[in-house]
Amino acid sequence: MEQIYASESPLQVVLITGIIGGGAAWLAGRAIAHTWRPFWHVIGYMALLGAAVRFVHFALFEADLLAPLSYAADTAFLLCVGCLGWRVTRAAQMVTQYAWLYERTSPVSWRERGPRDAARGEG
């Protein structure tokens, strides 16, 4: 962690990247899923959000603005959180919108209902 965030304290990283950036990534992933956009849109938006998080580190704490390793670490974290938000929302959409076709198997996945389940109208 010393090499990735050379000029920032762990508290700064947790506050800006973890809480603020992670919350924004979660909400952005959900918003992308709510508008039925494909998964790959999350990647582009998280790259932009990673630049914004890097700028906040620079503006508030005088960290390096052009730090490729820090940007990559921030963006990787934001991408994980944004993808999770997208997937949780998409799973909820699929089992709510198409309840007769799909059933939830976990918070992030769904499966097709069997022919017997669909005929009985369970769900």
Query: How do the pLDDT tens digits run along the chain, 123 residues long?
Result: 667 877 788 899 999 999 999 999 999 999 999 999 999 999 999 999 999 999 999 999 888 888 899 999 999 999 999 999 999 999 999 999 999 999 999 999 989 987 765 555 554
Q: How far apart are CA 41 and CA 38, in angstroms?
A: 6
Alpha helices per DSSP H over the chain: 10-12, 22-34, 40-61, 68-97, 115-120
Domain boundaries, the chain: 10-97
Q: How far apart are CA 30 and CA 6, in angstroms?
A: 32
Entry pTM:
0.85
State residue 63's pLDDT score. Answer: 84
Q: Which of 6, 2, 34, 8 is nearest to 21 (CA)?
A: 8
Residue 32 · residue 88 · CB < 8 Å: no
Q: Which of 26, 28, 17, 27 is nearest to 60 (CA)?
A: 17
